[in-house]
């Protein structure tokens, strides 16, 4: 399809006086109307998407009236109004994040954007977005007839391949892709997490793109969701989290959607739900794979309509929130088993981020996290000196499977700082770590078992064994020392 996109504008591009230029709709003037007057016929547009940025009641009324005027005057043209509320009309980053999902939706179509309507920030946003979507997006401005030779309004297309924009975009990409991305909230971004957080940084620049975070319990799914919120234009609005597995259907419904006074026994007053309370911000739905079929239908409707209906109410409430969801379950397998809706899955998983288990991140990263939590706990236990961690403890922790992941390691250090005086010794470790019954499914355990199998076969030199295993002799020697089976140099 060939689609025209423009913001609704109140200024008349072709006026002869400043007084006339401030004339308000529904007068048949202004840039949005002028497009249909002067340029539609020779453009082969199949649709006009007209955007409204205001949430004000009067502006919404004017917008609807103007849409009606356009449709009446040009009945054979497909004109679609869309509401994209902009809280800060001079914030280029907010405008870009709100427009990104729209352009992504029509990524397979031929788009033309009329950039004259709107604020200077809106025009700047179109320029910057044009460098990203330039394969299917053209930008144009118009010149009033009084400035043209033939006395007709003129359309002027903008060259997005100028030297200016690629340089700026390259600089912006270097900032986003920097290895020194912000951590925040005590998050330690190790080597295996860095690519995930770089993706999260880019997702944060969009506004309502669905994000599904996958990972075992304790891998930091809520931290990652909060990171996306904190790096988005919603960061000054609430971030509210709900563990869906902790509620029955009825309680989850009232927790998310709110309820009216008298809606059920004990509802002594009206209460806003989590979604309405997070207006303008982010709602994080953890353990989304545990909600019932009935709640799946309700949530799908909310995502589609962007409206909620409090329990006991007959009125719907429009919402403006970003949903981030997470689960430790395989949603695709649940969909195959008809326990989870495919249409809801595709709504939630527009983008996905997979957090690795701590045991699969390798001994070096586990040791990095050990030192991180040791530093962190000093601040939480101000009366304590920083604990010394014995080499034997570090060795055992490096080899432990950590079924509880980051949360288990963090809680372990709380235990250390509660009971240990100056040093953490092997005797301070829980029996499960001392006995070290590793999870046979983990990559670390698979690697360990394979190396020990080759080693115990005997009759081979380190060089031969390293050749079979596909690693260097020094790496093999280091691994065998970690496993406590090799004492050579």
pLDDT digits (tens, 9 = 90+) for 144-185: 776 677 777 788 888 765 433 433 333 333 333 333 344 445
pLDDT digits (tens, 9 = 90+) for 233-278: 898 899 999 999 888 888 898 889 988 887 776 677 788 889 999 9
Please report the pLDDT score of residue 291 as a whole number. Answer: 93
Please report the pLDDT score of residue 99 as a whole number. Answer: 86
Give the least confident one: 262-271, 300-309, 318-327, 353-362. Answer: 262-271
Q: Residues 256, 258, 262, 267: is their CA dihedral positive or negative?
A: positive
Higher-scoring residue by pLDDT: 54, 29: 54
Nearest-angstrom CA–CA distance, 109 and 450: 52
CA distances 124 to 96, 171, 207, Å, are: 9, 17, 18
* CB within 8 Å of 467: residues ≥ 6 apart: none
Nearest-angstrom CA–CA distance, 311 and 326: 25
With 80 as the cut, is the pLDDT of residue 304 above it? yes
With 80 as the cut, is the pLDDT of residue 459 above it? no
Nearest-angstrom CA–CA distance, 364 and 478: 12
In the chain, pLDDT over 70 holds for what percent of residues? 86
Do 50 and 82 touch, CB atoms closer than 8 A?
Answer: yes
pLDDT digits (tens, 9 = 90+) for 209-238: 889 999 999 999 999 999 999 999 898 899
In the chain, pLDDT over 90 holds for what percent of residues? 31
Q: What average pLDDT score do residues 186-206 get? A: 88
Please report the pLDDT score of residue 166 as a whole number. Answer: 38
Please report which confidence band the pLDDT of residue 335 belongs to, taking 50, 70 and 90 as the band edges: very high
The secondary element (H helix, E strand) that includes residue 171 is: helix 164-176
For tokens 């909230």, name the residue. 185
Mean pLDDT over each residue of the chain, to the nearest integer: 81
Nearest-angstrom CA–CA distance, 256 and 247: 11
* β-strands 258-259, 271-272 pairing: antiparallel
Number of Cβ atoms within 10 Å of the Cβ of 315: 8
End-to-end CA gap in the chain: 70
Number of Cβ atoms within 10 Å of the Cβ of 246: 12
């Amino acid at each position: 399809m060939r689609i025209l996109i423009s913001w609704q504008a109140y200024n008349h591009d072709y006026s002869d006086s400043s007084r006339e230029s401030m004339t308000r709709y529904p007068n048949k003037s202004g840039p949005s109307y002028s497009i249909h007057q002067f340029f539609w016929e020779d453009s082969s547009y199949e649709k006009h998407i007209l955007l409204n940025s205001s949430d004000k009641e009067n502006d919404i009324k004017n917008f609807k009236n103007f849409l009606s005027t356009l449709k009446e005057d040009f009945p054979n043209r497909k004109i679609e109004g869309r509401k994209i509320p902009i809280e800060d009309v001079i914030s280029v980053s907010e405008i870009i994040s709100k427009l990104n999902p729209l352009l992504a939706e029509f990524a397979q179509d031929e788009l033309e954007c009329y950039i004259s309507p709107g604020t200077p920030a809106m025009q700047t946003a179109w320029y910057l977005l044009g460098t990203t979507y330039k394969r299917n997006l053209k930008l144009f401005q118009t010149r009033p007839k009084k400035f043209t030779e033939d006395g007709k309004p003129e359309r002027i297309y903008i060259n997005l391949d100028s030297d200016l924009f690629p340089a700026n975009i390259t600089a912006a990409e270097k900032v986003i892709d920097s290895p020194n991305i912000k951590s925040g909230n005590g998050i330690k971004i190790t080597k295996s997490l860095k690519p995930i957080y770089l993706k999260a940084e880019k997702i944060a620049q969009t506004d309502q793109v669905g994000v599904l975070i996958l990972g075992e319990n304790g891998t930091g799914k809520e931290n990652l969701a909060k990171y996306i919120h904190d790096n988005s234009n919603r960061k000054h609005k609430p971030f509210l989290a709900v563990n869906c597995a902790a509620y029955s259907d009825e309680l989850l419904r009232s927790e998310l959607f709110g309820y009216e006074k008298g809606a059920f026994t004990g509802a002594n007053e009206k209460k806003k739900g989590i979604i309405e309370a997070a207006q303008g911000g982010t709602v994080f739905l953890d353990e989304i794979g545990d909600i019932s079929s009935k709640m799946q239908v309700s949530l799908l409707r909310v995502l589609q309509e962007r409206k909620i209906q409090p329990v006991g109410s007959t009125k719907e409430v429009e919402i403006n929130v970003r949903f981030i969801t997470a689960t430790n379950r395989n949603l695709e397998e649940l969909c195959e088993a008809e326990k989870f809706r495919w249409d809801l899955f595709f709504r939630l998983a527009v983008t996905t981020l997979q957090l690795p288990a701590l045991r699969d991140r390798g001994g070096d990263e586990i040791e990095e996290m050990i030192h991180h939590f040791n530093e962190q706990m000093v601040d939480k236990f101000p009366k304590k000196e920083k604990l010394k961690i014995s080499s034997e403890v570090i060795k055992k922790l490096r080899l432990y499977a950590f079924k509880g992941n980051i949360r288990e390691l963090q809680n372990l250090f709380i235990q250390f700082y509660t009971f240990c005086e100056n040093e953490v010794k092997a005797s301070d470790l829980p029996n499960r770590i001392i006995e070290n019954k590793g999870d046979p499914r983990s990559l670390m355990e698979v690697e360990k078992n394979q190396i020990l199998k080759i080693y115990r076969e005997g009759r081979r030199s380190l060089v031969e064994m390293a050749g079979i295993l596909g690693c260097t002799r020094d790496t093999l020697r280091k691994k065998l020392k970690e496993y406590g089976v090799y004492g050579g140099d």
